[in-house]
């Protein structure tokens, strides 16, 4: 085990690595209009810039954790960072839509390896329960902060350089991460030899791929699309077969016994519910700032800074409150604060001032900082170092799929509210169809035609849909608060450090 100071420096390296994933998740959003022009990308190709990344990420998460347990987590993590950096450079210098889609898929593979493996080394670096909870808070915060930072960094880069810079920014961060992980993070792997569950890998990857693609398609084409529904149902069926297979195979890809630990099950579920609120905000607010209130990409990102400040405050409070009141109370308070902030946000109008918005976005950040790392800590605290890779991959896979489902559901609520309130009665069918696609298309069409009543209708309709989405998010956050109180155990069973070291190889 490395010395105490070295452990924290190693955690800093992991935080830098995770920051790149958070940045990459949202930085693409601000570059889409430029990519459409410079690469002559169609609407379908623009969607695949994001979809290729998400699908590969979802499909590769579970195998990534198992491979780390078997072959060495540090070794694979360094390789994943190098792959992520190389793919980022390939994205930056892509000269066609096909090249960018391919590079984004490889980027998703690198992220799929990085996410569970960087989490999996935490039980090895920090066997002490208190230190581990503090380390996980830092780890989670680094990822979450990267999400609102994406539009800020991306907006500044687009205003200053060319679109490829939004991907190239990952490279220096990756270089720092690779160097620090190679020097500071100890190698670790499972001591018990396990054969590769190739059938489990195939079933889990196919199932997660089908389920994730189905919900992405729902977000684009609606709940009546036969392709989307078929993909979702097929994914569910394959995943059911995967679970059945895991109960029969000698060396399963995942340990189904983890779900007998209520702290693992409910900690993972609650962290996923918290993600809904975060992804809903990240999805809707940049559109509100840009299309409705007329800010540019950088200005839109800067308006999310209060959330980052709130998250920093929340994470600093979480550990202190948890020590006195217990994790369920912290998650309940954080989720309740989320619900209250989102409910206030649901009163937003077209002309609501940024001062009002900043208040509830700050409160939302505090709620996130309280609830998210605490829920994750409850789940990770049940993992032994022996199976930390597979367990961490399972947590991340469930959160990733849950986040995709949440975006699809919340996006549908927003789109339904937008289209229901939109007034296109006097428009030609083709123009009306364009306006109904999105608020950005609606604003662009109204401005091009000089139709001020249509512009007012588009902006008002979007705000109506956004408010409906925030109400739905508030309901989910409120449900999370209730579940935390009723179902999460006040004291989670922790695997003893001496038991961990007996089953773990650390060099």
Boundary-marking domain end, from 194, 219, 234 = 194
Pair 55, 163 in one domain: yes
Asked whether residue 500 carries a pLDDT value surpassing 70, the answer given is no
Boundary-marking domain end, from 175, 194, 213 = 194
For residue 36, being part of any structural domain is answered with: yes
| CATH number for 77 | 1.20.1250.20
Pair 225, 364 in one domain: no
- The larger pLDDT score, comparing residue 372 to residue 281, is at 372
What lies within 8 Å, CB to CB, of 280 at 6+ separation is 406, 407, 410, 469, 470, 472, 473
CA distances from 120 to 75, 269, 453 (A): 13, 19, 55
Going by C-alpha positions, the residue among 330, 348, 328 that lies closest to residue 287 is 348
Number of structural domains found in the chain: 3
- The larger pLDDT score, comparing residue 393 to residue 388, is at 393
Residue pair 430/255 in contact (Cβ under 8 Å)? The answer is no
Pair 212, 332 in one domain: no
Average pLDDT over residues 388-402: 76
Residue pair 311/141 in contact (Cβ under 8 Å)? The answer is yes
For residue 109, being part of any structural domain is answered with: yes
Pair 94, 119 in one domain: yes
Say what the pTM is.
0.79
Q: Which two tokens stand for residue 410?
A: 């919340």
Query: Among the ranges 223-227, 251-255, 405-409, which has the highest mean pLDDT value?
Result: 223-227
Note down the domain range covering 294: 260-493
Pair 190, 204 in one domain: no
- The larger pLDDT score, comparing residue 494 to residue 377, is at 377
Pair 88, 235 in one domain: no
For residue 484, being part of any structural domain is answered with: yes
Q: What is the DSSP letter of 271?
A: H
Instruction: Give CA–CA dist 38/45, Å, rounded.
Output: 13
pLDDT in tens, 77-126: 999 999 999 999 999 999 888 899 999 999 999 998 888 888 878 877 88
For residue 501, being part of any structural domain is answered with: no
Pair 440, 459 in one domain: yes
| Band of pLDDT at residue 385, cut at 50, 70 and 90 | low
Boundary-marking domain end, from 250, 268, 293 = 250
Pair 225, 239 in one domain: yes
Asked whether residue 495 carries a pLDDT value surpassing 60, the answer given is no
pLDDT in tens, 125-156: 887 777 877 888 888 778 777 777 777 888 78
Asked whether residue 450 carries a pLDDT value surpassing 80, the answer given is yes
Going by C-alpha positions, the residue among 264, 280, 18, 20 that lies closest to residue 140 is 18
Pair 231, 298 in one domain: no
């Amino acid at each position: 085990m490395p010395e105490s100071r070295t452990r924290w420096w190693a955690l800093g390296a992991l935080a830098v690595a995770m920051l790149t994933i958070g940045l990459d998740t949202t930085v693409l959003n601000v570059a889409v209009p430029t990519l459409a022009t410079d690469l002559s990308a169609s609407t379908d190709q623009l969607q695949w810039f994001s979809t290729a990344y998400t699908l590969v990420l979802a499909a590769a998460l579970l195998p990534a954790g198992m491979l780390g347990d078997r072959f060495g987590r540090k070794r694979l993590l360094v390789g994943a960072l190098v792959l992520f950096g190389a793919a980022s450079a390939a994205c930056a210098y892509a000269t066609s839509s096909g090249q960018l889609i391919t590079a984004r898929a490889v980027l998703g593979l690198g992220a799929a390896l990085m996410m569970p493996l960087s989490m999996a080394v935490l039980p090895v670096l920090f066997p002490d329960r208190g230190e581990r909870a503090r380390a996980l808070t830092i780890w989670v915060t680094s990822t979450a902060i990267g999400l609102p930072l994406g539009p800020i960094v991306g907006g500044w880069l687009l205003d200053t350089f060319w679109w490829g810079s939004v991907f190239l920014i990952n490279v220096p961060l990756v270089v720092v991460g690779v160097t620090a992980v190679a020097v500071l993070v100890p190698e670790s792997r499972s001591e018990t030899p396990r054969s590769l569950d190739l059938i489990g890998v195939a079933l889990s990857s196919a199932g997660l791929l089908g389920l994730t693609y189905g919900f992405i398609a729902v977000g684009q084409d609606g709940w009546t699309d036969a392709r989307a529904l078929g993909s979702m149902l097929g994914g569910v069926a394959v995943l059911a077969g995967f679970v059945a297979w895991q109960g029969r195979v000698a060396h399963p890809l995942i340990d189904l016994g983890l779900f007998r630990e209520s702290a693992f099950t409910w900690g993972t579920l609650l962290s996923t519910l918290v993600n809904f609120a975060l992804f809903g905000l990240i999805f809707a607010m940049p559109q509100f700032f840009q299309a409705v209130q007329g800010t540019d990409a950088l200005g839109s990102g800067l308006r999310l800074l209060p959330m980052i400040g709130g998250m920093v405050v929340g994470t600093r409070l979480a550990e202190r409150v948890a020590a006195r009141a217990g994790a369920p109370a912290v998650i309940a308070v954080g989720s309740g604060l989320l619900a209250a902030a989102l409910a206030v946000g649901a009163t937003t109008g077209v002309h609501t001032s940024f001062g009002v918005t900043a208040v509830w976005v700050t409160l939302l950040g505090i709620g996130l900082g309280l609830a998210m790392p605490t829920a994750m800590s409850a789940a990770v605290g049940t993992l032994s170092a022996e199976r930390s890779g597979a367990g961490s991959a399972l947590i991340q896979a469930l959160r990733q799929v849950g986040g995709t489902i949440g975006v699809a559901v919340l996006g549908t609520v927003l789109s339904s509210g937008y289209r229901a309130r939109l007034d296109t009665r006097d428009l030609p069918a083709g123009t009306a169809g364009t306006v109904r696609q999105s608020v950005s298309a609606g604003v662009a069409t109204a401005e091009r035609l000089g139709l001020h009543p249509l512009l007012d209708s588009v902006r008002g309709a979007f705000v109506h849909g956004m408010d409906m989405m925030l109400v739905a998010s508030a309901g989910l956050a409120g449900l999370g608060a209730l579940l935390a109180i009723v179902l999460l155990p006040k004291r989670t069973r922790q695997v003893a450090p001496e038991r961990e070291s007996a089953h773990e190889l650390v060099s």
